[in-house]
Chain A
Amino acid sequence: MHKISNVASQSPVVSLRNVHKSFGPLKVLDGVSFEVDRGEVLVLIGRSGSGKSTALRCIDRFETIDSGEIVVGSHRVSDPKLDLRALRQDVGIVFQSYNLFPHLTIEENITLAPCSVKGISKSQAKEQARQVLAQVGLEDKLHQYPEQLSGGQQQRAAIARSLAMQPKVMLFDEVTSALDPELTGEVLKVIEALAADGMTMVMVTHEMGFARGIANRVVFMHRGKVHETGPAAILTSPATPELAQFVGTGL
């Protein structure tokens, strides 16, 4: 195991401590621990079924855990008395399948949560929608419907929708897996720009080249455990044979 030292003394934004989770007899998370500091990009990699997506979904309480502790900012996610909606105002999540609301325009998709959840005015929300769409390069798509956009554009719009809630942490769950290489590139550029702006992010990805470029910290999961962790450099010089084999097949 490779340990990296914290630059700042502040407490981490996201921390998982000894998290265990089973789906029936199947142990998916077997004592997973990692931390993400403010402004840091943590990339979760591993084979299908290694538990990386489950670990990510636990952070936003889309999965409940059997034991261990998850803390996101001031939210104790593993506490049964968690204020779920307060947590999700601070955590943005983007999925592989975009999940834009098909019956709403891009603008309506983006303004829905700020208006209904935060209670901000329609005009303020619309102004904000323009800002976040500009951030992902889609300001001309404001009044289009999701089906009129390409997959890459839909995923960028989904990122914009999350950003409009001004989250403290963003989670990306294999957000480019449904896209061809060209569209993948445009989505990754948006994520890179977010990282450069200092957004705290946790992402599950199979894009090893991208992970090398963006990750402050890489967590390689294997059979429900954190098998190897360290800076992006571990992707080029892995310490364990399993990671070596994984990046070997991934490149």
Chain B
Amino acid sequence: MNLNLDFAAIIERWPAFLDGALLTLQLAFIATVLGTVIGVLGAIGRRSSHPVVSRICGIYVEAIRNTPLLVQIFLVYFGLASLGLKFSAFAVAAAALTINVGAYTTEIIRAGFDSIPRGQIEAAEGLALSKAQIYWHVVMWPAIEKVYPSLTSQFVLLMLASSVTSQISAEELTAVANYVQSDTYRAFETYILVAIVYIVLSLIMRAGFWLLGLVVFPRRRRLGTPL
């Protein structure tokens, strides 16, 4: 066995890797922001007393959770194409990842909503707050604080899963790796480097979520206790 690693040709391509990494982060950012919005709306929908609304949200969640991400990406990609709509690979990737993570986020946030004691809502109702005000002030913020660790893990997972969008040639990190290794014939070195970059991206995201948590959960920042 003769392991002969040569990173020189790989490192030379660092601008391409940087571009890929930035694109991966952009995909993760878009899907995180939009996925959170979908998650909140989906969770409200799943808890709705309107049976049609809760059913539609339930079907969405189950359909996404029971199909592979790659298949979902192809469905969006070829679906839009067959409707004659032209979008960039990046836009399709962002849309598919958002749809995917939105379903998982719906379930996580719904669990958070369900964990708010009935007494909290009664107290808010007794203070004459409207339904929307109760959801916003009394249910949503503490619910998100409670499920924040699961939520952030899900978003980091999503960033890693975005490597699958290389299949529709979105120019993210894994796609960059794929053509660098076919150019240089240094496949093992390429993927070692890419793995390290993914670790760095994960750490960046976790640090970002930690900082965001300090800003949006002032009680936690001051007391350090879980809600």
**Which of A's residues lie within 8 Å of B, judged by CB?**
60, 62, 85-86, 88-89, 91-93, 95, 97, 99-105, 112-113, 116-117, 145, 147-148, 158, 161-162, 165
Most A C-beta atoms less than 10 A away, residue of B123, B138, B222 = B123
Pick the contact of B217 from A101, A103, A105 — CB < 8 Å? A103
One of B2-10, B55-63, B77-85, B129-137 at the interface: B129-137
Contacts of A101 in B (CB 8 A): 120, 123-124, 137-138, 142
Chain B interface size, under 10 / 10 to 19 / 20 to 34 / 35 or more: 20 to 34
Contacts of B125 in A (CB 8 A): 62, 88
Secondary structure class of chain B's binding surface, majority of residues: helix
Q: From B120, which residue of chain A is reached at the shortest CB distance?
A: A99
Do the beta carbons of B133 and A116 come within 8 Å of each other?
yes
Interface residues of B in 126-157 (CB under 8 A from A): 126-130, 133, 137-138, 141-142, 145
B127 surroundings in chain A (CB, below 8 A): 88, 112-113, 117, 161-162, 165
Does B223 sit at the interface, judged by CB under 8 A? yes
Whether A103 lies near B145 (C-beta < 8 A) is: yes
Among B119, B126, B128, B217, contact of A97 (Cβ-Cβ < 8 Å): B119
Instruction: Give 24 CB contacts A-B under 8 Å.
Output: A62-B126, A85-B128, A86-B128, A88-B125, A99-B122, A99-B123, A101-B120, A101-B123, A101-B137, A102-B142, A104-B137, A104-B219, A112-B127, A113-B127, A113-B128, A117-B127, A117-B128, A117-B129, A117-B130, A147-B223, A158-B123, A162-B126, A162-B127, A165-B128
A158's nearest neighbour on chain B, judged by CB, is: B123
For chain B, residues 60 to 118, give those with C-beta under 8 angstroms from any C-beta of chain A. 117
Cα-based distance from A148 to B222 in the complex (angstroms): 11
**Cβ-defined contact, B128 with A88, below 8 A:** yes
Chain A min CB distance to B225 (Å): 7
Q: Are B225 and A89 in contact (CB under 8 A)?
A: no
Shortest B227–chain A CB gap in Å is 6
Measured between beta carbons, the chain A residues less than 8 angstroms from B123 are 95, 99-101, 158
Q: Which residues of A contact B122 (CB under 8 A)?
A: 62, 95, 99
What chain A residues lie within 8 Å of B119 (beta carbons)?
Answer: 95, 97, 99
How distant is the Cα of A92 from the Cα of B123 in the complex, in angstroms?
10
10 nearest CB pairs, A to B: A99-B123, A113-B127, A88-B128, A93-B126, A99-B119, A89-B128, A103-B142, A85-B128, A117-B128, A116-B133
A134 to B138, CA, bound (A): 25
How far is B117's CA from A97's CA once the two chains are assembled, in angstroms?
11
User: What is the CA–CA distance of A112 and B125 in the complex, to the nearest angstrom?
Assistant: 12
| A112–B129 touching, CB < 8 Å | yes
* B85 CB, min distance to chain A CBs, angstroms: 42
Distance in angstroms from B49 CB to nearest chain A CB is: 15
**A60 to B145, alpha carbons, bound, how many Å?**
31
Q: Please give, as numbers and ranges, the residues of chain A lying within 8 Å of B142 by CB-CB distance.
A: 101-103
A103–B217 alpha-carbon span in the complex (Å): 8
Among B127, B129, B217, B223, residue most surrounded by chain A Cβ atoms (within 10 Å): B127
Q: Which residue of B lies closest to A114 (CB)?
A: B127
Residue of A nearest to B225 (CB): A147
Contact residues in A for B225 (Cβ distance below 8 Å) = 147
- A145 with B126, Cβ < 8 A, contacts A101-B120, A116-B137 known: no
What CA separation (Å) do A113 and B123 show in the bound complex? 11
Cβ-defined contact, A102 with B126, below 8 A: no
- Alpha-carbon distance A103/B119, docked complex (angstroms): 15
Do B126 and A60 touch (CB < 8 A)?
A: yes
Q: Which residues of B contact A104 (CB under 8 A)?
A: 137, 219
Q: Which residue of A is nearest B146, CB measured?
A: A103
Nearest CB to that of B138 among chain A residues? A101
User: A145 to B129, Cβ gap below 8 A?
Assistant: no
A121 to B119, CA, bound (A): 27
Which chain B residues numbered 191 to 227 have a C-beta less than 8 Å away from chain A?
217, 219, 222-223, 225, 227
Give, as a whole number of angstroms, the nearest-CB distance from A74 to chain B.
Answer: 15
A197 to B: closest C-beta gap in Å: 21
Which residues of the other chain, B, contact A112 by a CB distance below 8 angstroms?
127, 129, 137
Q: A101-B142, A103-B142 are in contact. Are A148 and B129 (CB under 8 A)?
A: no
User: Would you give the shortest CB distance from B124 to chain A, in whole angstroms?
Assistant: 8
Please give, as numbers and ranges, the residues of chain B lying within 8 Å of A99 by CB-CB distance: 117, 119-120, 122-123
Chain B residues with Cβ under 8 A from A158's Cβ?
123
A-B contacts besides A88-B126, A100-B123, A103-B219, 14 pairs, CB < 8 Å: A62-B126, A86-B128, A95-B122, A97-B119, A99-B117, A101-B124, A102-B219, A102-B227, A103-B145, A103-B217, A117-B133, A145-B223, A147-B225, A165-B128
